[in-house]
Each structure stands twice: as structure tokens, then as C-alpha cells.
Amino acid sequence: MVSVEQANGVLAQIQDAGSGRAVTELSWIDQIRVEGSRVVFRLALPGFAQGQRERIAGEARQALLSLDGIDDVQIELGQPPSQGGIGQAGHGQPAERQSIPGVRQVIAVSSGKGGVGKSTVAVNLACALAQQGLSVGLLDADIYGPNAPTMLGVADRTPEVRGSGDTQRMVPIESCGVAMVSMGLLIDEHQPVIWRGPMLNGIIRQFLYQADWGERDVLVVDLPPGTGDAQLSLAQAVPMAGVVIVTTPQQVSLQDARRGLAMFRQLGIPVLGVAENMSAFIPPDRPEQRYALFGSGGGATLAADYDVPLLAQIPMEMPVQEGGDSGRPIVISRPDSASALEFQGLAERVLQQVTTTA
């Protein structure tokens, strides 16, 4: 007959995709019993790991059925471990998070849905922080639309790689005062998005720890939209100063932003505040005019509901889009424009909230 130790042994091979730790060590699988030819165990995943449920259950079933003498597996669902789990530390952040040598603060930019201008905000925030004299890195982790190389005018450049084997390091590309690496530089743009997902965790870690960031006051991370693996991977990998949530004022965008905000809270990542983008349209020929194309007040409501600051209300202006496409972000190409002033204010308010030693 199979022993509990043998069952535990095969289950210990299954890992949390984010931290790489064994699910048994995390107590996500426990209470293992062997009843003749059947193994029973409890599966209790914390909220942020629910996306891994099917994979973990499938791998566990397969691993146990591969043992001689086992022909049935029963999974009991349990309450998530209250502590220990992924190593909940003081603020609920996993204890095994590993900081990046030389990088003082990591700030993520996230949105509930795509197309709200998250990359535009991340790039202009990074440039505005650099304009304030900080040494800034930008990690473009958006697998669905890695736009940072275009927005910084370096889409045709290939990053230099130094060293070989385990010591290999990618040198970020410098542009507009910011050192940048992008998913776009590693992912085949013709590869279907569904195949990119599983690579995410590995690539994010590679970018964090195998890029030559040097000394950086701030590393801004442009995350893909939504509440998926990239958010988890980043949250589990590195200690973060916080996250900026980008939304547009309309309801559908706000609902998704709420989900994102709640997820970061659950992960123990401080939410620095809300940046409302496309707050109002400013026509090029009448700069004093404002048209609330997507409604108004959404960002303020979201911020108030979660008791976080409304960090900026960035208007919709043609130079923002032109700046993005031409590789000169608006804080550089039109620093006096209404949007650039909001981006500069955003950078100041973000800085007020994180302690930098610049």
C-alpha cells in the first residue's frame, strides 16, 4: 500500500507558479490520507492563487494516480491558510520577495481593462520622474501590447546582452532619460497571446533580476491589463512601494479597475492612488474647452470608495497620442500642455507617497 509519505512526496513536486515553492510547503495541499487505493487531500488556495486551482488539482491527480496501487483521488476544498501560506509577512507581502540590487523602489502601473492609457501613463510617469532628477527604470511587462519601445522611440533597437549562461544580463535601452526593457523585445509578436501567458512568470523574473538596472531610485512596471498572472508574479517576486491604478471615467472601466484595486489590496500591495485618464477631451483649436466624452467623476468616486488619493485627471489631447506614436512622450514634447502638467503632478504625488533616497 502507498504511504502518506509517498503521496506527500509526489505532491511536493507541484509548485506555486509565482514563488516556485512547493504547494505542500505552503499548506495549499494538506491533510493527506491514504485509504486503500484512494488518496484524499485538502486543497486550500489563498484568493490570489485561485487562478492556479485547475492546474494544481490536475497535476496533483495525475501525480497520485501515477503511484502504483492508487486508482482514485479525492480532493476536499478547504479554507485558505490564514497565515504562513505564501509567507504572509508584516503587511501581507510574501516573505520570500527578493529586492533588485540597486533598485530602491518598484512602482507598478495597472488597469482593469485594456486601452485606458495605462502604458501612456506608465511611460509619462517614468519620464516625469526622470525630469525631477531621479534615476528611473521602466519595465514594460505588458504581453498583450508592449508599447514602451514605440512610445520611447526605440522600437528598432535590440538590447545588448552581456555575459553568458547564468551570468547573462540584458542591458536596458536608454531613451528620454529612462532605462527600459520590454516584453516586446523578448516575445515573438506573431506568437498567439495564449502561449505567452505561461512564459510570463519566468520572463518577469528574468527582467527583474537579469536586466542590468544599475542604480535606480525608481523602477516603474507597466503591467498588462486585468488581474492575471503578471500581477501575481510581480507581487510575489519583488517588494513593491505600491501600485497606481489607471482608469477612464466611465462605468465599465471603473468596474474593472475596482477588481484590480481589490486584488492588489488582497495581495498586500499598497495602492498609491487612482490616475483618471481621458478625463475630458480638449479640442486642439480651443484649449480652454473641455468635453466629458466618457462621463466625469469616475476616478474620484473610485478613489473615495477605496479611500486612496485621486492622483491625476489627465485630459484627452491629440498631442498625447502623437507623442506616444512619435516616440517623444508629451511630458517631453509638450511639457506645458494640460496633460503634461497632470503627469508631472502625478509624479510628484507618487513621490510624496514613497520614500526615495534620491
Question: Residues interacting with ligand ATP, by CB under 6 A?
Answer: 111, 114-120, 142, 144-145, 147, 225, 277-278, 314, 316-317, 320-321, 324, 339
Compute how many other C-beta atoms are within 10 angstroms of the C-beta atom of residue 127.
Answer: 30
**Residue 243 among known ligand-binding residues:** no
Question: Residue with CB nearest ligand ATP?
Answer: 145
User: In the complex, what is the shortest distance from the CB of residue 222 to ligand ATP, in angstroms, rounded to a whole number?
Assistant: 7
Q: Which is nearer to ligand ATP, 136 or 312 (CB)?
A: 312
The residue length of the chain stands at 358
> Rounded to an integer, what distance in angstroms lies between the CA atom of residue 309 and that of residue 4?
51
How does DSSP classify residue 76? E
Q: Which is nearer to ligand ATP, 28 or 343 (CB)?
A: 343
**Residue 92 among known ligand-binding residues:** no
Compute how many other C-beta atoms are within 10 angstroms of the C-beta atom of residue 89.
Answer: 14
Q: Which is nearer to ligand ATP, 23 or 320 (CB)?
A: 320
Compute how many other C-beta atoms are within 10 angstroms of the C-beta atom of residue 115.
Answer: 12
User: In the complex, what is the shortest distance from the CB of residue 258 to ligand ATP, in angstroms, rounded to a whole number?
Assistant: 16
User: In the complex, what is the shortest distance from the CB of residue 216 to ligand ATP, in angstroms, rounded to a whole number?
Assistant: 22
How does DSSP classify residue 71? -
**At 93, phi and psi to the nearest 5?**
-90, 140
Q: Which is nearer to ligand ATP, 172 or 319 (CB)?
A: 319
User: In the complex, what is the shortest distance from the CB of residue 329 to ligand ATP, in angstroms, rounded to a whole number?
Assistant: 10
**Residue 118 among known ligand-binding residues:** yes
Asked whether 32 and 11 are in contact (CB, 8 A), the reply is: yes
Q: Which is nearer to ligand ATP, 49 or 203 (CB)?
A: 203
> Rounded to an integer, what distance in angstroms lies between the CA atom of residue 34 and that of residue 157?
57
**Residue 295 among known ligand-binding residues:** no
Strands (E) located in the chain: 29-35, 38-43, 72-77, 103-111, 136-140, 161-162, 169-170, 173-175, 178-182, 216-222, 242-247, 271-281, 310-316
**Residue 193 among known ligand-binding residues:** no
CA atoms within 13 A on the CB side of 327: 10
> Rounded to an integer, what distance in angstroms lies between the CA atom of residue 102 and that of residue 16?
27
Name beta bridge partners: 136.
Answer: 178, 218
**Residue 119 among known ligand-binding residues:** yes
Q: Is 79 exposed, middle or buried (0-12, 13-18, 19+ CB in 10 A)?
A: exposed
User: In the complex, what is the shortest distance from the CB of residue 170 to ligand ATP, in angstroms, rounded to a whole number?
Assistant: 22
Which residue has cell 503591467? 223
Q: Which is nearer to ligand ATP, 94 or 145 (CB)?
A: 145
User: In the complex, what is the shortest distance from the CB of residue 205 to ligand ATP, in angstroms, rounded to a whole number?
Assistant: 21
User: In the complex, what is the shortest distance from the CB of residue 256 to ligand ATP, in angstroms, rounded to a whole number?
Assistant: 11
**At 315, phi and psi to the nearest 5?**
-70, 165
Q: Which is nearer to ligand ATP, 144 or 306 (CB)?
A: 144
Task: Specify binding-site residues for ATP.
Answer: 112-119
Task: Specify binding-site residues.
Answer: 112-119
